[in-house]
Amino acid sequence: MRMQVPPALCTKAGKHLNKGKIYISKTSPPSVLKAYLSQFQTDFFAFLRSRAAEMVAGGGMLLSFNGRSSPDAAAEVGFHQWELLSQALMKKIDSFNAPYYAPSAEEVANIVEEEGSFIINHLQEFEIDWDGGSTDNNDDDNNNNVVNGFENLSRGRRVAKIVRAVVEPMVESHFGRDIMDELFRRYGEVVDHYMSKTRAKNINLILSVTRINSCY
């Protein structure tokens, strides 16, 4: 889920807490996980409060966003694409942090309950392949008949195109336009290598809520 970059990731003295990473990883210190969770709680609470002000009692809202199934925010199912993107960048990335957090269903439910304007009708997580489940066309037979279409790309290159469509503006504003083509070419290769060894899935959360009468 998109959110603000947690200000706490950089100290008043200018020290970057998540050195060498652009999102939560297994090597991130606990303070980074705490900062991301705190920012998500603040932003999602504000989002719910704003939507509540626009809705009448009995109105419904359906949300779908990336999340995670593990209670561990550093788990790969939390959006490991950021970790692979940091590998593809091959630059000093201490000062860039993704404005994103993949919450667990429990974290989402806790904030809905705390905000108090909605009741949860349904909250479910489901898996989706990184590239949407397309078959891999990165074999010799297919490469002999290359067509400039999405389905004729390797799985890693498909993922690179999908991720680029979402994150390029924020990455470009930090690192510059000149590296974008080469960055996402490398990223496709990194993802291809990762997907050749790993079952790569994202977790999506579906949240259905109903507006109730409440006093703030």
Domain range annotation of the chain: 7-211
d(CA 215, CA 121): 20
Single pTM value for the model: 0.82
Q: Residue 215: its pLDDT value, please? A: 57
* Mean pLDDT per 10-residue section of the chain, whose length is 216 residues: 85 83 88 94 97 96 94 80 88 81 96 97 93 60 50 88 92 90 95 90 95 75
Name the one residue in this structure whose structure tokens are 């490991």: 80
- pLDDT of 144: 43
Query: Taking the CB of residue 89, how many other CB atoms lie within 10 A of it?
Result: 18
Token pair of 18, please?
A: 């998540």
Residue 110 pLDDT:
98
pLDDT for the residue numbered 130: 87
Report the CATH number of the 7-211 domain: 3.40.50
Inter-residue long-range contacts of 149-154, CB under 8 Å, 24+ positions, other chains counted: 153/188, 154/188, 154/192
Q: What is the rounded CA–CA span in Å between residue 99 and residue 6? A: 8
pLDDT at 135: 56
Q: Residue 146: its pLDDT value, please?
A: 44
